Amino acid sequence: MNKKTRITRLLKSTPDGQIVTVKGWVRTFRNNQFIALNDGSTIVNLQVVVDRETLPEDILKRITPGAALIATGKLIESQGHGQAMELVAAEILITGDSNADTYPLQPKRHSLEFLRKNGHLRFRTQTFGAIFRIRHHLAYAIHKFFNDRGFFYLNTPIITGSDAEGAGEMFRLTTLDLNNVPKTDDGHVDYSNDFFAKETNLTVSGQLEAELGAMALSNVYTFGPTFRAENSNTTRHLAEFWMVEPEIAFSDLDDDMDLAENMLQYVIGYVLEHGKLDLEFLAKRLENEEKNKPQNERSFPLLEKLQGIIDDKFERITYTEAFNILRNSKPNKKGKFAYPVEEWGMDLQSEHERFLVEKKFKKPVIITDYPKGIKAFYMRMNDDGKTVAAMDILVPGIGELVGGSQREERLDVLHDRMKEMNIPIEEMQWYLDTRVYGSCPHAGFGLGFERLVLFVTGMTNIRDVIPFPRFPGSAEF
RNA sequence: GCCCCUUUAGCUCAGCUGGUUAGAGCGCCGGACUGUUAAUCCGUAGGUCCAAGGUUCAAGUCCUUGAAGGGGCGCCA
């Protein structure tokens, strides 16, 4: 079964009549003669030419969209115009038929909604093939980026016994009989007989554990599944998503921003090089999609947008600067914002982020030094006593792509902050110990991997860039 | 969780101020075709107009409720 050549490799060879075997799925069959065969290795189909004089009638009838087959024959320069080479089949072996009457995918454009409903087959379309190849390249590039810079890949727990991460609603995990939940005398759930003998959840972030690693290995990163039980119904949220969380010791917020910016530029450069054909396809797709939109609603052409990320430095402004820009902006003065910008300390809404990124600066913007009231307990207090050393990277079309901060390394300050925000200090001693023993300035950030894939592919719904999306009311497969 | 929109053939959609037998393109099926590129040409079949209730002489079309899907907002990555 191993004697096959993947189409991506064939395309790099010179066709001179060599005998090759390809294995893949039929996309279309034209003129009873031309099979467009795709094996998933590339978006490009290989044209397999069959001789209908010699090919048995029953085989000919079974070459239908979606059918799996093995074709062996000579690879020659194509006599047609649409492709450089083609395979003249001497032998066709169909390994799996596909009933054309019931196969949902037709050789035509389908809506993303329809393909979402047929999620088990959408991998076989050009669009989703491209998306998931790009997703792979991005994941690989992230590992490569960190590895090449001396970072260690640290696996933080998926099942967590810590409920103080404060990043959102958690999924509870238990083996208790839900029809007969044991209770303690005071009426609470008795976890003493549960699998872990305590309350456990699916992780919402590996950051706190990553900090433990960074305080010994210096530079670490996590890249794993993350879960949020929020009832979020948007095109940018999932209940199960993948997050990248580097953590760097002896570093401050500037180092953190540099790391994030360099990483984004590196991985986007990597896909521009290694996922060129897929990106070109997605770019054309986006262009067609937006043909009917009025000019001012169209997004920037995909490839130029990605090249711009590499060529341009990100804009860096403080929350206070952003606040002033927004307060004095035209839409704010004309009352166009649903949330007027009036009081320092307010959280920035989507409409504000979009104004800054898409109208004002027209490139990624890093906003730093947020008011302490709207940020997490572990972020380092600035000298003004009002803001923390936090940073969010906002990008066009997505909004928040990265959220990070310098961590509070001073035990007394951290202690006070935790008290202030009602974080259970007793349960967090393991975390505080990093500040008790050999504390140092350190920083890190979280990158929503699917949001990165959204940004790079130009797709607009996050459910289309993860193979098996989980969201409120839906956990198919 | 809140707001808006959509639901008509396998898919993508049209269907006017309510009025005869609900249409198109593509797909499927049948036929033609040896250089096609989502092939092309000819032909046939294919409908619980999302569901329930209501208004009306008459409802795909109007109203109410519900379901499913999409978009926006909030929560965030």
Is the pLDDT at A2 greater than 60, yes or no? no
pLDDT of residue A165: 60
Strand B positions with any atom < 7 Å from protein CB? 1-2, 10-13, 26-29, 33-39, 68-77
| Range A436-456 average pLDDT | 97
Q: Which amino acid is present at A6?
A: R
| Residue A454 beta carbon within 7 A of nucleic strand B | no
Give the closest nucleotide to A86 (alpha carbon vs C1').
B35
Cα torsion at A136, A403, A461, A468 (round to 10°)?
50
Q: Which amino acid is present at A323?
A: F
- Chain A span 226-285 residues with beta carbon within 7 Å of strand B: 228, 230-239, 241, 243
Question: Start-end ranges of CATH 2.40.50.140 in chain A?
Answer: 7-108
Q: Which residue has the higher pLDDT, A56 or A340?
A: A340
Q: Which amino acid is present at A460?
A: T
Joined tokens for residue A430: 């393991």
Give the closest nucleotide to A35 (alpha carbon vs C1').
B36
ipTM: 0.91
Instruction: Give the Cα separation of A57 and A62 in Å (integer).
Output: 9
| Range A238-246 average pLDDT | 97
Question: Start-end ranges of CATH 3.30.930.10 in chain A?
Answer: 126-169+204-464
Lowest mean pLDDT among A147-151, A199-203, A292-296: A292-296
pLDDT of residue A54: 83
Query: DSSP 3-state assignment of A393?
Result: strand
Is the pLDDT at A463 greater than 90, yes or no? yes
CB of A343 closer than 8 Å to CB of A369: no
CATH of domain A126-169+204-464: 3.30.930.10
Q: What is the distance in angstroms measured between the alpha-carbon CA of A154 and the sugar C1' of B72?
A: 38
Q: What is the pTM of this model?
A: 0.94
Is the pLDDT at A122 greater than 80, yes or no? yes
Choose the CATH number for A7-108 among 2.40.50.140, 1.10.10.10, 3.40.50.80, 3.40.50.620. Answer: 2.40.50.140
CA distances to A14, A113, A144, A393 from A402, rounded to whole Å, are 44, 28, 19, 5
Can you tell me which residue has its alpha carbon closest to the C1' of nucleotide B26?
A108
